[in-house]
A and B are shown apart, each in its own frame.
Chain A
Amino acid sequence: MAGIGEKPVLTFRNKLRIREYAEGYRLYDLIRGSSKGREWKASVFFFLGIAMLFMLMMNNFNIPKLPVSTIVLLICMYMCTHYIYMLPKKAKLKGERIFKSSRLLSKEYTFQIDKEYFIMENEYEKLKRYYTEITDCIETDELFLLIGGIKKQIIVISKRSLNKEENQLLSHHFKREMIRQYRRTKSKHKGRKI
Protein backbone atom coordinates (compact mmCIF):
# COMPACT_ATOMS: atom_id res chain seq x y z
CA MET A 1 0.00 0.00 0.00
CA ALA A 2 3.00 2.30 0.34
CA GLY A 3 3.95 4.47 -2.63
CA ILE A 4 6.30 3.23 -5.37
CA GLY A 5 9.72 2.56 -3.90
CA GLU A 6 8.49 3.48 -0.44
CA LYS A 7 8.77 1.11 2.44
CA PRO A 8 6.30 1.24 5.27
CA VAL A 9 7.69 2.97 8.34
CA LEU A 10 6.76 0.09 10.57
CA THR A 11 4.74 -3.12 10.45
CA PHE A 12 3.67 -4.96 13.55
CA ARG A 13 0.99 -7.17 15.03
CA ASN A 14 -1.14 -5.98 17.88
CA LYS A 15 -3.69 -7.71 20.08
CA LEU A 16 -5.58 -5.73 22.67
CA ARG A 17 -6.55 -6.74 26.15
CA ILE A 18 -9.78 -5.61 27.73
CA ARG A 19 -8.12 -3.27 30.24
CA GLU A 20 -6.04 -1.62 27.53
CA TYR A 21 -9.14 -0.84 25.50
CA ALA A 22 -10.98 0.33 28.63
CA GLU A 23 -8.10 2.68 29.46
CA GLY A 24 -8.13 3.98 25.88
CA TYR A 25 -11.88 4.52 26.08
CA ARG A 26 -11.50 6.36 29.39
CA LEU A 27 -8.99 8.72 27.76
CA TYR A 28 -11.28 9.17 24.76
CA ASP A 29 -14.17 10.00 27.10
CA LEU A 30 -12.02 12.58 28.88
CA ILE A 31 -11.03 14.27 25.63
CA ARG A 32 -14.07 13.91 23.37
CA GLY A 33 -16.79 12.15 25.34
CA SER A 34 -19.14 12.94 28.20
CA SER A 35 -16.30 13.57 30.67
CA LYS A 36 -15.02 16.44 28.53
CA GLY A 37 -14.73 19.61 30.62
CA ARG A 38 -15.57 17.77 33.83
CA GLU A 39 -13.03 19.82 35.84
CA TRP A 40 -14.73 23.15 35.27
CA LYS A 41 -18.19 21.62 35.70
CA ALA A 42 -17.06 20.13 39.02
CA SER A 43 -15.50 23.42 40.09
CA VAL A 44 -18.80 25.27 39.48
CA PHE A 45 -20.55 22.84 41.84
CA PHE A 46 -17.62 23.03 44.27
CA PHE A 47 -17.82 26.81 44.60
CA LEU A 48 -21.63 26.71 44.79
CA GLY A 49 -21.28 24.12 47.57
CA ILE A 50 -18.74 26.32 49.38
CA ALA A 51 -21.18 29.24 49.17
CA MET A 52 -23.97 27.11 50.64
CA LEU A 53 -21.65 25.85 53.37
CA PHE A 54 -20.71 29.43 54.15
CA MET A 55 -24.41 30.38 54.40
CA LEU A 56 -25.01 27.47 56.78
CA MET A 57 -21.99 28.46 58.87
CA MET A 58 -23.28 32.01 59.16
CA ASN A 59 -26.51 30.56 60.58
CA ASN A 60 -24.74 28.18 62.99
CA PHE A 61 -25.72 25.16 60.88
CA ASN A 62 -29.39 25.69 61.60
CA ILE A 63 -30.57 23.22 58.96
CA PRO A 64 -34.36 23.58 59.53
CA LYS A 65 -33.96 27.31 58.93
CA LEU A 66 -32.11 26.83 55.63
CA PRO A 67 -33.44 23.62 54.06
CA VAL A 68 -32.84 24.77 50.48
CA SER A 69 -29.16 25.55 51.16
CA THR A 70 -28.71 22.14 52.75
CA ILE A 71 -30.30 20.37 49.79
CA VAL A 72 -28.22 22.42 47.31
CA LEU A 73 -25.08 21.61 49.32
CA LEU A 74 -25.87 17.89 49.17
CA ILE A 75 -26.55 18.10 45.43
CA CYS A 76 -23.26 19.96 44.91
CA MET A 77 -21.35 17.32 46.87
CA TYR A 78 -22.95 14.59 44.77
CA MET A 79 -22.21 16.40 41.49
CA CYS A 80 -18.56 16.98 42.46
CA THR A 81 -18.14 13.28 43.25
CA HIS A 82 -19.96 12.42 40.03
CA TYR A 83 -17.68 14.52 37.82
CA ILE A 84 -14.38 13.81 39.57
CA TYR A 85 -14.71 10.18 40.57
CA MET A 86 -17.72 8.43 39.08
CA LEU A 87 -17.61 9.65 35.46
CA PRO A 88 -14.11 8.33 34.60
CA LYS A 89 -14.94 5.05 36.31
CA LYS A 90 -18.16 4.80 34.32
CA ALA A 91 -16.25 5.47 31.09
CA LYS A 92 -13.84 2.67 31.87
CA LEU A 93 -16.68 0.27 32.57
CA LYS A 94 -18.35 1.33 29.32
CA GLY A 95 -15.09 0.62 27.49
CA GLU A 96 -15.00 -2.86 29.02
CA ARG A 97 -18.63 -3.42 28.01
CA ILE A 98 -17.90 -2.37 24.42
CA PHE A 99 -14.86 -4.66 24.26
CA LYS A 100 -16.88 -7.59 25.55
CA SER A 101 -19.68 -6.96 23.07
CA SER A 102 -17.30 -6.82 20.09
CA ARG A 103 -15.95 -9.92 18.41
CA LEU A 104 -13.43 -7.85 16.43
CA LEU A 105 -11.67 -5.75 19.07
CA SER A 106 -10.11 -8.78 20.73
CA LYS A 107 -8.71 -10.12 17.46
CA GLU A 108 -5.12 -9.64 16.41
CA TYR A 109 -4.56 -6.82 13.91
CA THR A 110 -1.61 -6.18 11.65
CA PHE A 111 -0.68 -2.52 11.54
CA GLN A 112 1.16 -1.06 8.61
CA ILE A 113 2.36 2.42 9.42
CA ASP A 114 3.07 4.58 6.39
CA LYS A 115 4.10 8.17 5.94
CA GLU A 116 0.64 9.63 5.39
CA TYR A 117 -1.66 6.93 6.65
CA PHE A 118 -1.80 3.62 8.45
CA ILE A 119 -3.61 0.41 7.66
CA MET A 120 -4.95 -1.99 10.23
CA GLU A 121 -6.02 -5.36 9.03
CA ASN A 122 -7.09 -8.81 10.12
CA GLU A 123 -8.99 -11.69 8.56
CA TYR A 124 -12.33 -9.84 8.87
CA GLU A 125 -11.54 -6.19 8.50
CA LYS A 126 -9.25 -3.74 6.74
CA LEU A 127 -9.16 -0.07 7.61
CA LYS A 128 -7.07 2.66 6.02
CA ARG A 129 -6.83 5.92 7.90
CA TYR A 130 -5.03 9.09 6.88
CA TYR A 131 -3.40 11.10 9.65
CA THR A 132 -5.43 14.10 8.51
CA GLU A 133 -8.56 12.26 9.73
CA ILE A 134 -7.13 11.92 13.22
CA THR A 135 -8.27 14.58 15.67
CA ASP A 136 -6.26 13.40 18.69
CA CYS A 137 -3.21 11.19 19.05
CA ILE A 138 -2.51 10.40 22.68
CA GLU A 139 0.50 8.48 23.92
CA THR A 140 0.72 7.04 27.42
CA ASP A 141 3.22 4.62 28.94
CA GLU A 142 1.09 1.66 27.87
CA LEU A 143 -0.67 2.66 24.68
CA PHE A 144 -1.25 4.93 21.71
CA LEU A 145 -4.79 6.23 21.30
CA LEU A 146 -5.89 7.53 17.91
CA ILE A 147 -9.22 9.34 17.80
CA GLY A 148 -10.97 10.38 14.61
CA GLY A 149 -12.63 9.31 11.40
CA ILE A 150 -16.17 8.14 10.83
CA LYS A 151 -15.79 4.42 11.39
CA LYS A 152 -13.86 3.06 14.35
CA GLN A 153 -13.35 6.42 15.99
CA ILE A 154 -11.19 4.95 18.73
CA ILE A 155 -8.10 2.99 17.77
CA VAL A 156 -5.91 1.72 20.57
CA ILE A 157 -2.41 0.41 19.92
CA SER A 158 -0.86 -1.45 22.82
CA LYS A 159 2.83 -0.84 23.45
CA ARG A 160 3.11 -4.30 24.98
CA SER A 161 3.59 -5.96 21.60
CA LEU A 162 6.29 -3.53 20.46
CA ASN A 163 9.92 -3.53 21.50
CA LYS A 164 11.67 -0.40 22.76
CA GLU A 165 13.01 0.65 19.35
CA GLU A 166 9.64 0.13 17.67
CA ASN A 167 7.93 2.10 20.40
CA GLN A 168 10.35 4.98 19.94
CA LEU A 169 10.04 4.86 16.17
CA LEU A 170 6.24 4.89 16.33
CA SER A 171 6.23 7.66 18.90
CA HIS A 172 8.57 9.84 16.78
CA HIS A 173 6.58 9.09 13.65
CA PHE A 174 3.23 10.05 15.20
CA LYS A 175 4.80 13.13 16.76
CA ARG A 176 6.22 14.20 13.40
CA GLU A 177 3.18 13.42 11.24
CA MET A 178 0.53 14.67 13.66
CA ILE A 179 2.16 17.70 15.23
CA ARG A 180 -1.12 19.37 16.18
CA GLN A 181 -2.93 16.23 17.31
CA TYR A 182 -0.12 14.53 19.23
CA ARG A 183 -0.01 14.66 23.03
CA ARG A 184 1.78 12.58 25.60
CA THR A 185 0.10 12.03 28.93
CA LYS A 186 1.22 10.28 32.05
CA SER A 187 -0.33 6.93 32.71
CA LYS A 188 -2.92 6.83 35.47
CA HIS A 189 -1.61 3.49 36.67
CA LYS A 190 2.09 4.14 37.01
CA GLY A 191 4.03 1.00 37.65
CA ARG A 192 0.96 -1.17 37.25
CA LYS A 193 0.84 -3.55 34.35
CA ILE A 194 -2.27 -3.45 32.22
Chain B
Amino acid sequence: MKSEIKESFLITEEDYVNMCLSRQKYFIPKENKIILAVMGIIAILCGTAAFINIRGNAYQIICWFLLIAIGLYVLSYYEVINPLIVKDHATKFFRYNHKLINSKTFTFNSESFGMTDQMHQIKIPVKFIDKIVESKTTLLIFLDKEEITFVPKRVLSKEQINIIRSIIAEEKYVRLPKEV
Protein backbone atom coordinates (compact mmCIF):
# COMPACT_ATOMS: atom_id res chain seq x y z
CA MET B 1 0.00 0.00 0.00
CA LYS B 2 1.48 3.35 -1.07
CA SER B 3 1.51 5.61 1.96
CA GLU B 4 2.36 8.90 0.26
CA ILE B 5 -0.51 10.90 -1.23
CA LYS B 6 0.08 13.72 -3.67
CA GLU B 7 -2.78 15.14 -5.70
CA SER B 8 -3.21 18.37 -7.62
CA PHE B 9 -6.69 19.64 -8.27
CA LEU B 10 -8.86 22.62 -9.08
CA ILE B 11 -11.62 23.73 -6.77
CA THR B 12 -14.92 23.93 -8.60
CA GLU B 13 -18.02 25.79 -7.48
CA GLU B 14 -19.62 22.46 -6.57
CA ASP B 15 -16.62 21.51 -4.41
CA TYR B 16 -16.80 24.80 -2.56
CA VAL B 17 -20.57 24.52 -1.99
CA ASN B 18 -20.17 20.92 -0.76
CA MET B 19 -17.43 22.03 1.63
CA CYS B 20 -19.65 24.78 3.06
CA LEU B 21 -22.54 22.34 3.49
CA SER B 22 -20.32 19.77 5.21
CA ARG B 23 -18.83 22.42 7.49
CA GLN B 24 -22.28 23.69 8.40
CA LYS B 25 -23.47 20.17 9.11
CA TYR B 26 -20.49 19.53 11.34
CA PHE B 27 -20.88 22.76 13.31
CA ILE B 28 -24.61 22.44 14.06
CA PRO B 29 -25.01 20.59 17.37
CA LYS B 30 -27.33 17.59 17.33
CA GLU B 31 -29.26 18.99 20.33
CA ASN B 32 -30.22 22.10 18.33
CA LYS B 33 -31.67 19.91 15.59
CA ILE B 34 -33.63 17.82 18.09
CA ILE B 35 -34.96 20.88 19.97
CA LEU B 36 -36.11 22.55 16.74
CA ALA B 37 -37.69 19.33 15.45
CA VAL B 38 -39.62 18.84 18.72
CA MET B 39 -40.76 22.49 18.72
CA GLY B 40 -41.87 22.18 15.10
CA ILE B 41 -43.84 18.99 15.74
CA ILE B 42 -45.53 20.56 18.82
CA ALA B 43 -46.51 23.64 16.80
CA ILE B 44 -47.90 21.51 13.95
CA LEU B 45 -49.86 19.27 16.36
CA CYS B 46 -51.24 22.26 18.31
CA GLY B 47 -52.25 24.05 15.10
CA THR B 48 -53.90 20.94 13.64
CA ALA B 49 -55.69 20.09 16.90
CA ALA B 50 -56.95 23.66 17.29
CA PHE B 51 -58.14 23.72 13.67
CA ILE B 52 -60.05 20.43 14.07
CA ASN B 53 -61.51 21.03 17.54
CA ILE B 54 -61.88 24.80 17.96
CA ARG B 55 -61.81 26.21 14.42
CA GLY B 56 -63.53 29.54 15.40
CA ASN B 57 -63.84 32.61 13.17
CA ALA B 58 -61.76 33.45 10.09
CA TYR B 59 -59.16 35.31 12.15
CA GLN B 60 -58.65 32.28 14.42
CA ILE B 61 -58.42 29.90 11.46
CA ILE B 62 -55.65 32.09 9.99
CA CYS B 63 -53.87 31.87 13.35
CA TRP B 64 -54.04 28.04 13.36
CA PHE B 65 -52.68 27.88 9.81
CA LEU B 66 -49.91 30.28 10.77
CA LEU B 67 -49.04 28.03 13.70
CA ILE B 68 -48.87 25.01 11.37
CA ALA B 69 -46.75 27.01 8.87
CA ILE B 70 -44.34 28.09 11.62
CA GLY B 71 -44.14 24.47 12.78
CA LEU B 72 -43.29 23.30 9.27
CA TYR B 73 -40.67 26.05 8.90
CA VAL B 74 -39.04 25.18 12.22
CA LEU B 75 -39.20 21.44 11.54
CA SER B 76 -37.56 21.76 8.13
CA TYR B 77 -35.09 24.52 9.04
CA TYR B 78 -31.91 22.47 9.45
CA GLU B 79 -32.73 19.91 6.78
CA VAL B 80 -34.08 22.11 3.98
CA ILE B 81 -33.93 25.86 4.61
CA ASN B 82 -30.50 26.22 6.20
CA PRO B 83 -28.70 24.17 3.48
CA LEU B 84 -30.40 26.34 0.83
CA ILE B 85 -29.17 29.53 2.55
CA VAL B 86 -25.64 28.10 2.93
CA LYS B 87 -25.64 26.98 -0.72
CA ASP B 88 -26.72 30.42 -1.87
CA HIS B 89 -24.07 32.20 0.21
CA ALA B 90 -21.35 29.78 -0.87
CA THR B 91 -22.23 30.17 -4.57
CA LYS B 92 -22.18 33.96 -4.33
CA PHE B 93 -18.90 33.91 -2.39
CA PHE B 94 -17.26 31.56 -4.90
CA ARG B 95 -18.38 33.58 -7.92
CA TYR B 96 -17.14 36.79 -6.32
CA ASN B 97 -13.80 35.30 -5.20
CA HIS B 98 -13.18 32.65 -7.85
CA LYS B 99 -9.82 34.20 -8.77
CA LEU B 100 -8.61 33.53 -5.24
CA ILE B 101 -9.54 29.86 -5.31
CA ASN B 102 -6.64 28.54 -7.36
CA SER B 103 -5.34 25.11 -8.19
CA LYS B 104 -4.01 23.29 -5.16
CA THR B 105 -1.60 20.51 -4.41
CA PHE B 106 -2.40 18.26 -1.50
CA THR B 107 0.26 16.06 0.07
CA PHE B 108 -0.20 13.68 2.93
CA ASN B 109 1.98 11.01 4.52
CA SER B 110 2.55 9.56 7.97
CA GLU B 111 4.82 12.48 8.86
CA SER B 112 3.29 15.59 7.37
CA PHE B 113 0.36 17.24 5.69
CA GLY B 114 0.77 19.90 3.02
CA MET B 115 -1.44 22.12 0.92
CA THR B 116 -0.02 24.47 -1.66
CA ASP B 117 -1.52 27.11 -3.90
CA GLN B 118 -0.28 30.36 -5.39
CA MET B 119 -1.02 32.41 -2.28
CA HIS B 120 -0.67 29.97 0.56
CA GLN B 121 1.75 27.16 1.25
CA ILE B 122 1.47 25.05 4.35
CA LYS B 123 3.38 21.97 5.44
CA ILE B 124 2.81 20.84 8.98
CA PRO B 125 3.41 17.68 10.97
CA VAL B 126 0.33 15.45 11.11
CA LYS B 127 0.10 15.92 14.89
CA PHE B 128 -0.61 19.66 14.29
CA ILE B 129 -3.95 18.77 12.67
CA ASP B 130 -6.77 19.46 15.10
CA LYS B 131 -9.32 17.22 13.41
CA ILE B 132 -10.33 15.67 10.08
CA VAL B 133 -14.01 15.52 9.25
CA GLU B 134 -15.15 13.26 6.43
CA SER B 135 -18.49 13.90 4.77
CA LYS B 136 -19.95 12.24 1.70
CA THR B 137 -18.24 14.72 -0.61
CA THR B 138 -15.39 16.42 1.26
CA LEU B 139 -12.52 15.96 3.67
CA LEU B 140 -12.39 18.94 6.03
CA ILE B 141 -8.99 19.37 7.63
CA PHE B 142 -9.12 21.52 10.76
CA LEU B 143 -5.89 23.33 11.55
CA ASP B 144 -7.50 24.75 14.67
CA LYS B 145 -11.08 25.04 15.95
CA GLU B 146 -12.01 27.33 13.06
CA GLU B 147 -9.38 27.34 10.31
CA ILE B 148 -10.29 24.76 7.70
CA THR B 149 -8.64 23.55 4.57
CA PHE B 150 -10.40 20.97 2.44
CA VAL B 151 -9.95 18.31 -0.20
CA PRO B 152 -12.86 17.17 -2.39
CA LYS B 153 -13.21 13.42 -2.09
CA ARG B 154 -13.55 13.12 -5.87
CA VAL B 155 -9.78 13.68 -6.22
CA LEU B 156 -8.92 10.88 -3.81
CA SER B 157 -9.28 7.15 -4.33
CA LYS B 158 -10.79 4.88 -1.67
CA GLU B 159 -7.33 3.56 -0.94
CA GLN B 160 -5.98 7.06 -0.37
CA ILE B 161 -8.84 7.89 2.02
CA ASN B 162 -8.09 4.69 3.91
CA ILE B 163 -4.45 5.76 4.21
CA ILE B 164 -5.51 9.10 5.72
CA ARG B 165 -7.87 7.30 8.11
CA SER B 166 -5.12 4.95 9.21
CA ILE B 167 -2.63 7.77 9.83
CA ILE B 168 -4.92 10.07 11.80
CA ALA B 169 -5.67 9.09 15.38
CA GLU B 170 -9.18 7.74 15.85
CA GLU B 171 -10.30 10.54 18.19
CA LYS B 172 -9.28 13.13 15.60
CA TYR B 173 -11.20 11.55 12.73
CA VAL B 174 -14.92 12.27 12.48
CA ARG B 175 -17.24 10.75 9.89
CA LEU B 176 -20.42 12.63 9.20
CA PRO B 177 -23.62 10.79 8.31
CA LYS B 178 -23.89 10.14 4.59
CA GLU B 179 -26.81 12.40 3.72
CA VAL B 180 -24.65 15.51 3.07
Contact = CB atoms under 8 A, between A and B. Distances in A.
Interface of A: 94, 97-99, 101-105, 124-129, 133, 149-152
Contacts, number: 55
Given A150-B97, A150-B100, A150-B101, A105 B144 contact: yes
B124 A128 contact: no
B143 A102 contact: yes
Nearest to B115: A151
A98 B147 CA distance: 9
Nearest to A151: B120
26 contacts: A94-B145, A98-B144, A101-B144, A102-B144, A102-B145, A102-B147, A103-B124, A103-B127, A103-B144, A104-B128, A104-B143, A105-B144, A124-B123, A125-B120, A125-B121, A125-B124, A126-B121, A127-B121, A128-B119, A133-B100, A149-B119, A150-B97, A150-B100, A151-B119, A151-B120, A152-B120
A127 B145 contact: no
Contact of B128 (A103, A129, A150, A152): A103
Interface string B83-103: 000000000000001001100
Would you list the 7 A-B pairs with minimal beta carbon distance, nearest first? A102-B144, A103-B128, A101-B145, A101-B144, A126-B121, A125-B122, A124-B124
A98 B145 contact: yes
B60 interface: no
Given A149-B100, A150-B97, A151-B147, A102 B123 contact: no
A124 B120 CA distance: 11
Interface in B129-153: 130, 143-147, 149
Interface residues of B, number: 19
Contacts of B144: 98-99, 101-105
Nearest to A130: B119
Nearest to A125: B122
Contacts of B128: 103-104, 124
Nearest to A152: B147
Nearest to B102: A150
A124 B116 CA distance: 12
Nearest to B101: A150
Contacts of A124: 122-124, 128
B146 A98 contact: yes
A6 B141 CA distance: 37
Contacts of A149: 100, 119
B124 A101 contact: no
Contact of B119 (A94, A98, A104, A127): A127
A151 B149 contact: yes
A36 to B, nearest CB: 15
Contacts of B101: 150
